[in-house]
Amino acid sequence: MPMAPDQVRIYEIKRVDVEGAIVIDGFPSVGLVSSIVANYLIDTLEMEQIGIVESPAFPTVSLVRNGNPQHPVRIYAGRPPADRAGRGADKIVAFVSEFHPAPTVIHPLATSILDWVQEQRCSLLVSPEGLVVEAGPQSGRPGTRPPRLNDVKVYGVASTRKARELYIEPNMIPFAEGVITGIAGVLLNEGRRRGFDVLTFLAESQSDYPDARAAAKVIETINRILLRTPLDAVPLYAEAERIEQQLLSIQRHAAERSRGESSASPSQPMYR
């Protein structure tokens, strides 16, 4: 049966037990913070693809990596290795995409994700986001950003009082006033309505380029307050920088392709 233009469906291509998992929203955000975070976890934990998300509103593209075609919106699952005592670690699920969904599909997409998360009995959902900060005179040009690994602040907001008191208030600056848009905003609102724990971690970020340092600070935050078996933080920034360059490469290809196509496509690539 044909799908409505804004309809969303989730297809599982491999059945995996993800009960109790931490779920990461890896859709594009300011500075591509969420995309870098999700890709870092997928690569570092060697997560396997377990599903796709489909909608007529998504870009009609296939992203080819290592000779393998990939759907625009994918679901991965995995976990850190067990500790030295052999104890199991957290289950992690990541929804990831390199393209920004059309505005008309954001609400049904977010609610479909939360429906699936609750049906699978996952424990909580995390939306990493970039928080726009004023750009310095050198920012925006590759190789000219001042080092600020320890200067990036991370703010947090939660959909429930329990999550706010457990995760946000003891560990970071609460995000008290402001606007969170897009998928993260819908997830927070739906999480509050349903009484389900949704966390948004906002790292100070530049808006005009992928910001690996901001993403790395979010990964550090997830590592510190959510994971029972911590990730190795040593390669964190180098790996985030590598993913940043990979996303910049996709940006260039998308920009080149968009110049030769009509602007009437149902969803534009996230890179403009």
User: Average pLDDT by consecutive 10-residue portion of the chain (272 residues)?
Assistant: 86 94 94 90 93 92 86 92 57 93 94 97 96 60 46 94 96 94 96 98 85 88 86 70 74 67 45 32
Could you list the residue range(s) of the whole structural domain that residue 205 is in? 16-133+149-253
Specify if 117 maps to a domain. yes
- Quick check: is 160 in a domain? yes
138 part of a folded domain: no
CA–CA distances in Å: residue 144 to residues 141, 147, 225, 249: 6, 9, 32, 19
Residue 24 lies in a domain: yes
Tell me, yes or no, whether 44 lies in a domain: yes
202-243 tens-digit pLDDT: 999 877 777 888 888 999 999 999 987 777 666 767 776 777
Q: Is 63 part of any domain?
A: yes
Q: Distance between CA atoms of 148 and 135, rounded to whole angstroms?
A: 13
Q: How many domains does one find in the chain?
A: 1
Whichever domain contains 104, its CATH number is: 3.40.50.10900
SS3 of the chain: helix, strand, coil, percent, to 5: 35, 20, 45
For residue range 34-62, what is the model confidence (pLDDT) as tens digits?
A: 998 999 899 889 999 999 999 999 988 88
CA atoms within 13 A on the CB side of 114: 26
Residue at 8 is within a domain: no
Q: What is the pLDDT of residue 150?
A: 64
Confirm whether 4 is domain-assigned. Answer: no
One-letter amino acid of 136: G
